[in-house]
Amino acid sequence: MLGLSLGEKQFIKGGIAQDLRSDGRKRLTYRPISVETGIIPQASGSARVRMGATEVIASVKAELGRPSPLQPDKGKVAIYVDCSPTAEPTFEGRGGEELSTELSVALQRCLLGGKSGAGAAIDLSSLVVIEGKICWDLYIDGLVVSSDGNLLDALGAAIKAALSNTGIPRANVASGASGDGQPEVDISDEEFLQFDTSGVPVIVTLTKVGKHYIVDATAEEESQMSSAVSISVNRQGHICGLTKRGGAGLDPSIILDMISVAKHVSEQLINKLDSEIAAAEADEEES
Amino acid sequence: MEFVNPEGLRLDGRRPTELRQIRAELGAVAKADGSAVFEMGNTKVIAAVYGPREVRFEYSMANFSTGDRMRRPKGDRRSTEISLVLRQTMEACIMTHLMPRSQIDIFVQVLQADGGTRSACINAASLALADAGIPMRDLVTSCSAGYLNSTPLLDLNYVEDSAGGADVTVGIFPKLDKVTLLQMDAKLPLDIFENVMQLATEGCKAIATELREVSNLMKEINIVGEHKAIGISARGIKSYARWFRLQLCPDCCYTQFLSP
């Protein structure tokens, strides 16, 4: 994106102040969202989400591994985000690494809960096969294909869709396994356990431009922001995680206001996403 | 292991001279000047083109880059080699003398790899360049072929590729009928090599007809005299505003300059 002229910057800020953004949206309206699931057949689950010109792909791969000794009854989940240079030429080589790390950490914070494993949005105990010995490791990979602002929301939506699309193969433990050696686990090709994603939160990013906040900012609008707060909210309206970006200071009352706005917006977003995911899964089954 | 069963069918049910199913889509990355998604069976690749634009640095290391989805570090030897091969192939086909002192970036992202990634990258990059309206001598199409169980096989998938037989990758200019890329692994007797290379070249031509259909459907077709011309997308015109507008005839690559 080339630099913006002074006139363009004024236009963006003025539009936001008047509740009429450059593409005609209101401040709290999302761009059209489209979801496709099952696009990567080699993965256990995958989804592609498009929000306007922003396009991200998320894939979930399940592999067998050892549970951590601190939590022998829980599986493990790792989230990595990669910014592809197709999105921005500056992402070539190591250029996109900073952004990738920032996005990965923010997603981990929103979806995985604390160090003790408490409060994770994904039920980790459903991933264990043999307590203390074998569990499922989920590797969630996000890929930013096209970047036009609001990457965190798109990635959150893509991960939610990919998890709904994920099928963990049923692992049958061979009976008579000894206590010492590695037990035999037979992974079935036929039966799959679908993941329960009703507890997975969505992420709503509120970008403050001037005195107002907008939802789903484009790259141009993000360049004019003073600060941004990303809040992850689940279906029950509980806040699962919070990240503030940007150097400008925010009055605490404004942050509380942003949180309540985010909760309100998240209801519509969750409904829209759920209906899109259901439609995508139905399409995928037909094809 | 048997790669071609007695009835002449391969592991995935194809005949030895049959290509995998091809799917191509233009304009996948909205922000790029040109982009394309290319699928050959289970191999899926996205290419995005940015440019031509002013060179910001005096010396730029890689104009092309390849990314693999498995968690391999960027800049590993295989990626570097594929980037080099891609760059040399594209440099031969882009009319760089029409765009002095400017830089074209082509980025290719491999989403799924199931054999023939090199060829898929070249095909996707060709389409992305056409989508960006960058003047080219011809589309470049590429296909691989191998030799297993005494049969030349077209368009190897991952299993057939790892079988240890020879793997010949060919890239051609389909209209000009010139070879621009030729690589081979393992060893083959010379007469068999000629057959396999011929097979790969036929595969390239078949892919070329499919690609032309895709680019014809996506853009308007205007008839200019006896030549068909592909209209340039609005994005392409924007990046050319400083130089010229041109139209490319898909059949004979006759280039017509419309305005300075």
Average pLDDT on A215-231 reads 91
How far is the alpha carbon of A110 from chain B, nearest alpha carbon, in Å?
A: 23
Q: What is the pLDDT of residues A78-113, one digit of tens each?
A: 899 988 888 888 877 777 888 899 899 989 888 887
What's the CATH fold of domain B22-138+207-258? Ribosomal Protein S5; domain 2 (3.30.230)
Residues A227, A213: Cα–Cα separation, whole Å? 9
pLDDT for residue A174 is more than 50: yes
Using an 8 Å CB-CB cutoff, list chain A residues near B42. Answer: 41-42
Average pLDDT on A133-149 reads 88
B107 touching chain A per CB within 8 A: yes
Q: What is the pLDDT of residues B173-190, one digit of tens each?
A: 998 899 999 999 888 899
B86 touching chain A per CB within 8 A: no
For chain A, percent of residues with pLDDT exceeding 90: 32
Determine the pLDDT at residue A56: 93
pLDDT for residue A40 is more than 90: no
Q: Which contacts (CB < 8 Å, 24+ apart) does range A104-109 have?
A: A104/A79, A104/A80, A104/A142, A106/A152, A106/A203, A106/A230, A106/A241, A106/A243, A107/A79, A107/A81, A107/A142, A107/A152, A107/A155, A107/A156, A107/A159, A107/A203, A108/A79, A109/A241, A109/A243
- Respond yes or no on whether the N-terminal peptide bond of residue B52 is cis (omega within 30° of 0): yes
Q: Which residues of chain B have pLDDT under 70?
A: 54-76, 216-260
Using an 8 Å CB-CB cutoff, list chain A residues near B62. Answer: 92-93
Residues 109-148 of A with CB under 8 A from B: 141, 143, 145-148
Determine the pLDDT at residue A77: 87
How far is the alpha carbon of B242 from chain A, nearest alpha carbon, in Å?
A: 16
Determine the pLDDT at residue A185: 67
Both structure tokens of A276? 């899109």
Q: Are strands B178-185 and A239-245 parallel, antiparallel or unpaired?
A: unpaired
Which of A120-129, A166-175, B39-48 holds the top average pLDDT? B39-48
Average pLDDT for chain A: 84
Range with the poorest average pLDDT among A72-76, A258-262, A277-281, B72-76: B72-76
Using an 8 Å CB-CB cutoff, list chain B residues near A84. Answer: 46, 67, 107, 109
How many CB atoms lie under 10 A from the CB of residue B20?
18
Determine the pLDDT at residue A184: 64
The domain spans of chain B are: 22-138+207-258
Query: Residue A2: closest CA among chain B residues belongs to which residue?
Result: B53
Determine the pLDDT at residue B243: 33
Determine the pLDDT at residue B80: 78
Residues B95, B246: Cα–Cα separation, whole Å? 13
Q: Which is higher by pLDDT, B114 or A173? A: B114
